[in-house]
């Protein structure tokens, strides 16, 4: 599938008002502690909840060091493609190294959620994990509009972000691993109205198989 870039990049990566994580090694250490690695339970859970299937064209927005994208590529198989974008060049370099080591055809590029570097109606599914809490509301709205643009009619968005655990022990553990402020900035239940405003239909949110994460999803209307 031909994809057309619509933004340029500098050597330092694009500028964004959202928070950008540059330390890929620290990111992999922290995410590894909560099981977010390539083909680990959490990654497989998200891909399966997003109903990604062989032959799909998938975009992972805010892919970090590539773990979820690489898992998606395993599910879409040789007839599909998985792409990952992230604002941090350091993350993309690590993701590309992982793809080379595993001989995965997954593609990784520097890019922003508010200016996705692909043309209209390219993807069957857009996924995103632990990204939205980094963005102010204005950027969330712009990002959802961009995701809507690059989805094919009938395509789906499936994003996952932190859900503060109700269990006090789990809440303390989550805060120790990811930081109290970061955990509190995530408001997945408040995201459905933003998706609806962006044109998505069949918008739903709910729990996942993880005590730390919730999801929201929506579909771009057919036709």
- 164-184 pLDDT, tens per residue? 656 566 556 555 555 445 544
What is residue 146's predicted lDDT score, i.e. its pLDDT?
98
In this structure, of 115-124, 135-144, 152-161, the range with the lowest mean pLDDT score is: 135-144
What residues contact 58, with CB distance under 8 A and at least 6 apart?
Answer: 52, 69, 72, 73, 76, 80, 81, 82, 83, 123, 124, 125, 126, 127
Task: State the pLDDT confidence band at 70, using cuts at 50, 70 and 90.
Answer: very high
User: How far out from the chain centre does Cα 33 lie?
Assistant: 19
Question: How many percent of the chain have pLDDT more than 90?
Answer: 61
Name which of 117, 40, 113, 39 is nearest 73 in CA terms: 39
What is residue 162's predicted lDDT score, i.e. its pLDDT?
82
Contact assessment for residue 205 and residue 214, using Cβ atoms and an 8 Å cutoff: yes
> Above 90 in pLDDT, residue 125?
yes
Task: State the pLDDT confidence band at 6, using cuts at 50, 70 and 90.
Answer: very low
What is residue 170's predicted lDDT score, i.e. its pLDDT?
56
In tens, the pLDDT along 146-161 reads 999 999 999 999 999 9
Global pTM? 0.81
Task: State the pLDDT confidence band at 134, using cuts at 50, 70 and 90.
Answer: confident
């Amino acid at each position: 599938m031909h994809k057309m870039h619509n933004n340029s990049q500098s050597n330092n990566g694009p500028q964004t008002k959202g928070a950008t994580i540059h330390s890929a090694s620290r990111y992999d250490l922290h995410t590894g502690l909560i099981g977010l690695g390539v083909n680990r339970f959490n990654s497989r859970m998200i891909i399966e909840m997003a109903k990604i299937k062989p032959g799909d064209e998938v975009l992972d927005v805010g892919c970090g060091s590539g773990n979820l994208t690489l898992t998606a590529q395993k599910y879409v198989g040789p007839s599909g493609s998985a792409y990952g974008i992230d604002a941090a060049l350091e993350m993309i370099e690590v993701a590309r190294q992982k793809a080379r080591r595993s001989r995965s055809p997954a593609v990784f590029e520097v890019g922003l959620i508010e200016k996705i570097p692909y043309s209209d109606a390219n993807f069957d599914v857009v996924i995103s994990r632990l990204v939205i809490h980094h963005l102010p509301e204005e950027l969330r709205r712009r990002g959802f509009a961009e995701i809507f643009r690059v989805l094919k009619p009938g395509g789906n968005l499936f994003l996952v972000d932190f859900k503060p655990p109700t269990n006090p022990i789990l809440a303390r553990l989550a805060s120790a691993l990811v930081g109290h402020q970061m955990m509190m900035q995530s408001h997945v239940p408040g995201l459905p109205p933003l998706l609806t405003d962006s044109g998505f239909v069949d918008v739903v949110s709910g729990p996942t198989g993880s005590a730390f994460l919730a999801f929201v999803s929506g579909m771009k209307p057919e036709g």
